[in-house]
Amino acid sequence: MDSPRQIIHLDMDCFYAAIEERDRPELRGEPIAVGGRSSSRRGVLTTCNYPARAFGVHSALPTYQALQRCPHLIILPVRFDAYRYESSRIRAIFRDYTSTIEPLSLDEAYLDVSHHEIPASRIASEIRRRIRHTTGLSASAGIAPNKMLAKIASDWRKPNGQFEIAQDEIANFMLGLPVSKIWGVGKKAAQRLAENGIETCGQLQQKTRRQLQQLFGKFGSELYELSRGIDDRPVVANRIRKSMSCERTFPTNLETLEDRQQHASEIYRELSGDLAKLKSDRPIAKLFVKSKYADFTRSSIERSGMPFSLESFQDLLAEAHQRRPDPIRLLGLGIRFAHPDKTPSQAPTQLEFDWR
């Protein structure tokens, strides 16, 4: 039998805000947020430090709401050059231990250290010590036999901590784990599970694979595995995310353009939040809208050179509706990132969201 994999998930603690606090010692202990525009209702925060979180401020929160919760919040502009520089120094440390590194953003990555004879927990401790010594920043780590559990574990003792889930601990660990911690389970899926009396992975394990497939389709089969702590995804080096989208299937078909535009604002809000959480400085090359019609046929429309704004998506919706005004049962909004080696003209900074 093969030995379990040793996966580390390294996650910097409040990366952008921590860099700002390090570089401006006078701000230490103050509630700090990065991103957004304090003078506008249209900004969205990228991240914030722990004093700000104590007021209920968090990433992807509209700036005006953040200021309502914490009127003395200090909002700083993003400095991507500084963040990229620190990220490159941190990844150089990773490369001393493994070449199998899968970055998720500037401030977090998976490392596969299965080839080491040294325990992964010792490697994680050493990496975190070196990051602190090199950058003055703290990192948290999760260690587990797979990616899902490693990511869950890295959040277990934040900030500046680490947690390990061993192979023989997985079964007991999963029983009381909230389903919202499972990879791929968002607010909508968690709500639907709760409506079926399922709030923990232990309760989810009581459902058969077929029952979960009836509730969630193909994802139901994945839930059956994930609720048992089974995740076979490999750590993929040099993975580059090409797109991001959010979509919604409706219980009744959307008949008019007005219906589509109304629901598009909700989907846009969700997409904006996901983009803020990604914490990437890659420019957006294209926007797209996809539809699934009542007869289950699909259609999509995309354009380059458009700003990331609700108005842009509404324009695409209007064009899609003009092409085919039939009722739809699914609506999705998405973006395609520019290739790392190519920067499109008129590409907006990702964090300048038009929040409505």
Average pLDDT over residues 71-96: 93
Q: What is the pLDDT of residue 183?
A: 85
Mean pLDDT of the region 230-259:
86
Closest CA to 286 of 308, 303, 310, 298: 303
Q: What is the pLDDT of residue 205?
A: 96
Look at 109 and 351; give whichever has higher pLDDT: 109
**What's the gap between Cα 53 and its chain centre?**
18
Q: For residue 348, what pLDDT is reported?
A: 34
- Region of poorest pLDDT, from 19-28, 37-46, 86-95, 347-356: 347-356
The pLDDT score that the predictor gives to residue 42 is 55
Q: Which CATH class is domain 172-226?
A: mainly alpha
Mean pLDDT of the chain: 88
Name residue 48's amino acid. C
- DSSP symbol at 348: P
| pLDDT band per the 50, 70, 90 thresholds, residue 351 | very low
* Model confidence pLDDT, tens digit, residues 145-193: 999 999 999 999 999 999 999 999 999 999 999 999 998 888 888 888 9
For residue 101, CA distances in Å to 46, 73, 93, 131 come to 24, 35, 11, 16
Report the pLDDT averaged over residues 313-328.
Answer: 93
User: What fold characterizes domain 1-165?
Assistant: Alpha-Beta Plaits (3.30.70)
Rounded Cα distance between 58 and 45, Å, is 7
User: Tokens standing for 127?
Assistant: 């990496």
For the record, the structure tokens of 13 come out as 């603690």
Domain ranges, ordered by start, for the chain: 1-165, 172-226, 243-337
Among the listed residues 20, 21, 86, 108, the single catalytic one is 108
**Pairwise pLDDT comparison (39 vs 77), residue with the higher score:** 77
Q: Which pLDDT score is estimated for 40?
A: 52
Q: What pLDDT shows up at residue 239?
A: 65
Q: Taking 60 as the threshold, does the pLDDT of residue 27 lie above it? A: yes
Q: What are the residues whose beta carbons fall under 8 Å from the beta carbon of 305, sequence distance 6 or more?
A: 344, 345, 346
User: For position 283, what pLDDT does the model report?
Assistant: 87
Q: What is the CATH architecture assignment of 243-337?
A: 2-Layer Sandwich (3.30)
Q: Please, which pLDDT band fits residue 340 given cuts at 50, 70 and 90? A: low
- In the chain, the percentage of residues whose pLDDT exceeds 90 is 63
Q: Quote the percentage of the chain above a pLDDT of 70.
A: 91
pLDDT band at 341 (very low <50, low <70, confident <90, very high): low
Q: What is the model's pLDDT at position 237?
A: 86
Mean pLDDT, residues 113-122 taken together = 95
- pLDDT at residue 316, as a whole number: 95
Rounded Cα–Cα distance for residues 161 and 141 (Å): 7
pLDDT score, position 270: 83
Q: Say what the pLDDT of residue 354 is.
A: 32
pLDDT for residue 353:
31
pTM: 0.73
Q: Name residue, tokens 């995310």.
A: 241
Average pLDDT over residues 55-76: 92
Please, are residues 271 and 320 in contact by the beta-carbon 8 Å criterion?
no
From edge to edge, which strands make up the β-sheet containing 32-34? 47-48, 32-34, 74-76
**Nearest partner of 36 among 47, 27, 52, 26, judged by Cα:** 47
The per-residue pLDDT for 70 is: 96
CA dist 153 to 51, 104, 236, 284, 356, Å?
Answer: 23, 16, 19, 32, 35
Give catalytic status of residue 126 as yes or no: no
pLDDT given at position 345: 40
